């Protein structure tokens, strides 16, 4: 069976209840998550064996964060070090008021990781797939170097490598731009999740405003020839409570389009991209040659995530496939 390894930071999330603003908060709802951890939990819930590599402090928060992932069946490989778990505060948007994230992750246990601290060969020994995201190299030059170390080993060992570009402008603070760092990492990837607006700012590729999605993705593959497949999500954002969702899949020859969903009364949109990433990884492993089915599974997964509080998509394969097959609309499952 395919075993997936993901690598990244796990954060404590604090959110004011009932769509209150951060300035109104007298209490917080507590969750654990972050991009690669969310993908790991989803894939494990889908029935795939998963390892998650990270670092946490030797205290109750570090222990609790790992135990949460382990409750999904994820094998956690954590360097126990430092003094604090990174935190982010998320204010839920509503109607025309957008959501807001405030990070408090400096000097976290994860930020102290360096090259040579992780035995990647041992970790990848029984794995087939490695997933990372652009969040990790955005945090520091040292973490970008560690990410490259992992990618070199994974590539040499023949793992399929996927990445979510996950461009967060507010995280790139250490003196380097994304397009100075990411190209050296993306070149190892077989599968990439990203949007056309990240072409120049993340990948360093010039494009024209008149270029179609196919033309832009053709440039991606031409620049990074190891890439076999590119996926992107499309969000028609009416407001913070109601979105339209769809996705595309480019295999170098044909651009596939998914079904479109109208998601109203959004409960929580954090982790929707990670739900999609887990869905496409699962889909490509399960239906290797059926890219359309893999795409439909992924977009149905991200659709359902919007109905679930917290970072992690708690939907099952059965529930996602039911939505794919038209059994949605809020029906009661009996």
Q: What is the pLDDT of residue 329?
A: 57
CATH number of the domain to which 50 belongs: 3.40.1190.20
How do residues 206-215 score in pLDDT, each as one tens digit? 988 889 999 9
Q: What is the pLDDT of residue 240?
A: 79
Answer yes or no: are the C-beta atoms of 302 and 275 closer than 8 Å: yes
Which is higher by pLDDT, 278 or 269?
Answer: 278
Q: What is the pLDDT of residue 180?
A: 97
Q: Is residue 189 part of a domain?
A: no
Phi-psi region of 204 (alpha: psi -120 to 50; beta: other; left: phi over 0): left
Residue range 61-82: average pLDDT? Answer: 98
- Secondary element (H or E) of residue 130: strand 129-133
How do residues 221-265 score in pLDDT, each as one tens digit? 999 999 999 999 998 887 878 889 999 999 989 999 999 999 888
Which is higher by pLDDT, 238 or 38?
Answer: 38
The percentage of residues in the chain with a pLDDT greater than 90, rounded to a whole number, is 87
pLDDT band at 187 (very low <50, low <70, confident <90, very high): very high
User: Which residues are 31's β-sheet partners?
Assistant: 13
137: Cβ–Cβ under 8 A, 6 or more apart, which residues?
143, 144, 147, 181, 182, 185
Give the separation between CA 320 and CA 261, rounded to whole angstroms: 13
Q: What is the pLDDT of residue 147?
A: 98
pLDDT over threshold 80, residue 331: no
Q: Is 122 exposed, middle or buried (0-12, 13-18, 19+ CB in 10 A)?
A: exposed
Predicted model pTM? 0.95
Half-sphere exposure of 9 (CA within 13 A, CB side): 30
pLDDT over threshold 70, residue 134: yes
Residue range 91-108: average pLDDT? Answer: 92
pLDDT over threshold 60, residue 219: yes
Q: Is residue 165 part of a domain?
A: no
Q: What is the pLDDT of residue 332?
A: 45
For 324-331, the CB contacts below 8 A with 24+ separation are 324/259, 324/296, 324/297, 324/300
Domain coverage including residue 79 = 1-113
* The total number of structural domains that make up the chain: 2
Q: What is the pLDDT of residue 334?
A: 45
pLDDT over threshold 50, residue 132: yes
Domain boundary, last residue among 80, 113, 146: 113
What stretches of 126-257 show up as alpha helix (H) in DSSP? 135-139, 141-156, 178-181, 183-186, 213-223
Residue range 82-110: average pLDDT? Answer: 93
What integer best gives the mean pLDDT of the chain? 94
Range of lowest pLDDT (60-74, 110-124, 134-148, 240-254) = 240-254
Encoded tokens for 170:
């507010």
pLDDT band at 305 (very low <50, low <70, confident <90, very high): very high
Give exposure, 214-244, as e/b (b: 16+ Cβ within 10 Å).
eebbbbbbeebeebebbbbbebeeeebbebe
Q: What is the pLDDT of residue 94?
A: 86
Domain boundary, last residue among 113, 147, 172: 113
Q: Is residue 178 part of a domain?
A: no
Q: What is the pLDDT of residue 58?
A: 98
Q: Is residue 310 part of a domain?
A: yes
Give the separation between CA 37 and CA 151, rounded to whole angstroms: 18
Q: What is the pLDDT of residue 264?
A: 86
Residue range 187-200: average pLDDT? Answer: 96
Q: Is residue 167 part of a domain?
A: no
Q: Is residue 272 part of a domain?
A: yes
DSSP 6-38: EE---EEEEE-GGG--GGG-SS-EEEEE-HHHH
Which letter does DSSP use for residue 334 in this model? -
Answer yes or no: are the C-beta atoms of 188 and 152 closer than 8 Å: yes
Residue range 284-293: average pLDDT? Answer: 96
Encoded tokens for 130:
């490695």
Domain boundary, last residue among 113, 132, 159: 113
Answer yes or no: are the C-beta atoms of 2 and 129 closer than 8 Å: yes
Q: Is residue 145 part of a domain?
A: no
Q: Is residue 38 part of a domain?
A: yes
pLDDT over threshold 70, residue 62: yes
Which letter does DSSP use for residue 98 in this model? P
């Amino acid at each position: 069976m395919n075993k997936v390894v993901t690598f990244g930071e796990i954060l404590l999330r604090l959110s004011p209840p009932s769509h209150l603003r951060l300035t109104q908060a007298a209490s917080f709802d507590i969750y654990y998550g972050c991009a690669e951890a969310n993908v790991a939990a989803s894939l494990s819930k889908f029935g795939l064996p998963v390892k998650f590599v990270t670092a946490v402090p030797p205290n109750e928060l570090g222990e609790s964060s790992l135990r949460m992932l382990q409750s999904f069946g994820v094998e956690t490989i954590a360097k126990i070090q430092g003094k604090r778990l990174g935190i982010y505060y998320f204010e839920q948007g509503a109607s025309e008021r957008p959501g807001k994230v405030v990070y408090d992750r400096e000097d976290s246990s994860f930020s102290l990781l360096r090259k040579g601290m992780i035995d990647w060969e041992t970790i990848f020994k029984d794995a087939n797939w490695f997933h990372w995201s652009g969040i990790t190299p955005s945090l520091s030059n040292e973490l970008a170097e560690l990410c490259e170390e992992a990618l070199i080993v994974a590539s040499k060992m023949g793992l399929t490598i996927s990445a979510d570009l996950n461009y967060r402008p507010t995280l790139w603070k250490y003196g380097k731009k994304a397009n100075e760092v990411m190209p050296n990492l993306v070149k190892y990837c077989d599968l990439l999740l990203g949007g056309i607006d990240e072409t120049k700012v993340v990948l360093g590729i010039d494009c024209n405003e008149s270029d179609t999605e196919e033309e832009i993705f053709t440039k991606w593959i031409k620049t990074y020839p190891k890439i076999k497949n590119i996926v992107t999500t499309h969000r028609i954002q009416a407001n913070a409570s109601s979105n339209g969702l769809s996705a595309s899949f480019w295999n170098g020859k044909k651009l596939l389009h998914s079904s479109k969903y109208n998601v109203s009364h959004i409960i929580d949109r954090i982790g929707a991209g990670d739900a999609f990433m887990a869905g496409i990884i699962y889909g490509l492993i399960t239906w290797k040659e059926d890219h359309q089915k893999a795409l439909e599974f992924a977009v149905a997964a991200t659709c359902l995530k919007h109905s679930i509080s917290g970072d992690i998509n708690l939907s099952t394969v059965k529930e996602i496939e039911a939505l794919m097959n038209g059994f949605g609309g809020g029906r009661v499952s009996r």
